[in-house]
Amino acid sequence: MVPRRGTPALGSLLRLLCSRADGLLHGMAQPSVWDRFYAQQDAASPNSHFNWFFSYTTVSWLLLPALQRWGPPEPKPSPTRVLDVGCGTSDLGLGLYQDSPHPVHISCVDLSPVAIRSLRRLLQDVPPPRHPLSQLHLCVADATNLEVNSFEDSTFHLVLDKGTCDSLLRCPQGSGQAGRLVAECLRVLQPGGSLLQFSDEDPDARIPFLEQASGTGVTVQEVGHIGGICYYVYMLSRPPLQAPTNSAAD
Ligand SMILES: C[S@@+](CC[C@H](N)C(=O)[O-])C[C@H]1O[C@@H](n2cnc3c(N)ncnc32)[C@H](O)[C@@H]1O
């Protein structure tokens, strides 16, 4: 049986959003559709974040310890590098940047220039980060082809995706795009680094897709129930480099 994608879970939210942005449901891979959505969002609630599913505070309990895993040995801190793909105007990257007791370099990318412009404006008023060496960078980029924007292999410790893979999967021919997204996220991860996908899609649909797209194992954890919808975090890791073994001929 073909697993059913999580349409009922997104249904009520999408109906609400589509009343503000015609065509969003059918054009989630098109920048112009998202540009229109974020422009309407900005006009309706200027100077506020729009958070798909939930805000940073819902998942800070999970993210801050994940950052700590790569926490630098004191007293010589080196930053943990984080990428948020399809950041929109959400407060996920910003929350981590402000909250992390360790230095973090966070890159937030989105296909929509309107979203990045709004997020940049929101950043103007934020207090300094908790760690003085932390940095936040925003960039318009296609997360299915990050090489164009010079995102190199093995750069990040952690890649975050909240709702972006979901939106690609809901487009016609979306699984190809979503597969490219997953491949790019893994390419830019350091060996041993992790991709965390936040989604409302059921594990019986998402896990087979991710296993096929990544060729690697997937673990899943419930994030919680919000408004009667269960949200999950899907975790994929890039295998650590193997130490070279001495051959008998050495
Ligand atoms: C469902 S929204 C999630 C936004 C944000 N992560 C949040 O939690 O509020 C999907 C986002 O992915 C962006 N997006 C869609 N396709 C993309 C792509 N190929 N590369 C980068 N961003 C993309 C859209 O512009 C939109 O901001």
- CA distance linking residue 240 with residue 65, whole number of Å: 19
Task: Provide, rounded to the nearest whole percent, the portion of the chain with pLDDT above 90.
Answer: 70
**Domain assignment of residue 115, yes or no:** yes
Report residue 156: phi and psi, to 5°.
-105, 150
Average pLDDT, the chain: 86
- What's the whole-number mean pLDDT along residues 25-46? 86
Q: Tens of pLDDT along 53-107?
A: 999 999 999 999 888 776 655 556 689 999 999 999 999 999 999 999 999 999 9
**What is the reported pLDDT for 77?**
67
Q: Read off the CATH number of the domain in which 43 is found.
A: 3.40.50.150
**Domain assignment of residue 171, yes or no:** yes
**Domain assignment of residue 180, yes or no:** yes
Distance (angstroms) between ligand 1 centre and the Cα of 250 equals 51
Question: Which residue is closest in CA terms to ligand 1's atom 16?
Answer: 29
CA-to-CA separations, 50 to 40, 64, 88, in angstroms, rounded: 11, 21, 8
Ligand 1 site: residues with CB under 6 angstroms? 29, 34, 50-52, 85-88, 90, 92, 109-112, 115, 142-144, 162-164, 167-168
**Domain assignment of residue 3, yes or no:** no
Question: Is the predicted pLDDT of residue 8 greater than 50, yes or no?
Answer: no
Could you tell me which residues are beta bridge partners of residue 226? 229
- What's the whole-number mean pLDDT along residues 170-193? 91
Question: Is the predicted pLDDT of residue 49 greater than 90, yes or no?
Answer: yes
- CA distance linking residue 47 with residue 190, whole number of Å: 35
Bridge-based pairing state of the strands 135-140 and 104-110 = parallel
> Scanning the structure block, which residue is given the tokens 């412009």?
117
Question: Is the predicted pLDDT of residue 200 greater than 80, yes or no?
Answer: yes
**Domain assignment of residue 46, yes or no:** yes
Residues 6+ apart with CB under 8 A from 6: 166, 199, 200, 201, 202, 205
**Domain assignment of residue 247, yes or no:** no
**Domain assignment of residue 249, yes or no:** no
| pLDDT band at residue 2 using 50, 70 and 90 as cut-offs | very low
**What is the reported pLDDT for 21?**
47
**What is the reported pLDDT for 15?**
47
**Domain assignment of residue 110, yes or no:** yes
Q: Which amino acid belongs to residue 154?
A: S
**Structural domain count, the chain:** 1
Pocket test for ligand 1, best of 110, 140, 175, 197 (most atoms within 8 A of CB): 110
**What is the reported pLDDT for 241?**
76
Handedness of CA 97, 102, 140, 189 (dihedral sign): negative
Residue 35 structure tokens = 């540009």
Q: Tens of pLDDT along 105-120?
A: 999 999 999 999 999 9
Q: Which amino acid belongs to residue 109?
A: V
- CA distance linking residue 24 with residue 37, whole number of Å: 7
Distance (angstroms) between ligand 1 centre and the Cα of 77 equals 31
Task: Look up the domain containing 139 and give its range.
Answer: 9-71+79-237
Question: Is the predicted pLDDT of residue 177 greater than 60, yes or no?
Answer: yes
Distance (angstroms) between ligand 1 centre and the Cα of 165 equals 8
Could you tell me which residues are beta bridge partners of residue 108? 84, 138
Q: Which residue has the higher pLDDT, 126 or 24?
A: 126
Q: Are 53 and 223 in contact (CB under 8 A)?
A: no
Pocket test for ligand 1, best of 91, 111, 170 (most atoms within 8 A of CB): 111
Query: Cis before residue 72, ω within 30 degrees of 0?
Result: no
